[in-house]
Structure 1
Amino acid sequence: MPAFPRDELEEMVRRWLAANRRCEELGDWRPLAELYTEDATYGWNVGPDQDFMAVGRDEIRDLALGSEMGGLDGWSYPYQSILIDDRGGEVVGFWKQVADARRPDGTPYEVAGIGGSRFRYAGGFRWSWQRDWFDLGNVTSVFVEMMKAGVLSDGMKRRLDRAASGAAIPGYYRRGQAPASIW
């Protein structure tokens, strides 16, 4: 793990956060792909038997930021804290998942618990990998609550239908069989 100048990593984080805000406003996360190397990987665990992994900038754009973020247009992911390890070239960010839909009491639907991302910096203002974590039980609970209230987006309904179809979904692998390791 190479060391990087602290100010370079801080600038990368600034660029990342600004790009995230633009993507939230657009309702399209795919432009974030430009902040990854051509051979970057991006993955997360999806429960005890399954992982998601996108390999390469194109899969990151199309799968992780495209189809996997599909239905989450209007959601925001405000970062609550960011830790920078300039010796190891890594960044850890803790974020919330907040829907644009509101409950009858006016509060937004928000995933409880802690979500976050761990990044490895490659230099040149690009990430070489990203690994996310979130509480799948809390995510499921919010989606069920939103479904019952009739406020789930059409995109999220399509994603849930896709998941329930039983068809293979690109980027999903049995735990331990993804083309890149979560760790």
Structure 2
Amino acid sequence: MSYPILPLQSGFNKKDFSCGKEMLDNYIQKQASQDLKRRLSAVFAMVDDSRVIGYYTLSSTSISRDLVPEDVQKKLPPSYHDLPATLLGRLAVDQNYKGQRLGEFLLMDALRMAFETSEKHVGSMALIVDPLDDDAEAFYSKYDFIKLDSGKMFLPMQTIAALFK
């Protein structure tokens, strides 16, 4: 079964969302709508009817040139000290929907959205994640995210572009 992924809307049922990680549950239930109003992040929800069963957030960020892998640094003009990037701040799937690869679908949608935005609207040379725990790190590693010394993970936009061109 496939579920649509839409920008978060006020009519969506967020209160029943539970992924098993309190921080991620509280975010969608209590903070996501405020972040949208304040334009701190864009929130995309996977819904079953109007019930939120998964979500992710995107926002702009930057990363110090010194933190990215040397092979990536070599391809960039030396005048850039801070590099524009997109932050995948949160990604979660409701426990009742685990085992259906919905996390992968959410990630692919986030990659597509980040790529399209970087192509058409706002420059971004990578997608950055800051994994919440070892499980999250293992999840992103499966999709070729590169672990940085800071603990964050990095996927170059050129790698993402190859998926969608």
TM over 0.5: no
Scaled by the length of structure 2, what TM-score is found? 0.28
Bigger relative contact order, structure 1 or 2 (CA pairs below 8 A, ≥6 apart): 1
When the two structures are superposed, what TM-score results if normalisation uses the length of structure 1? 0.26
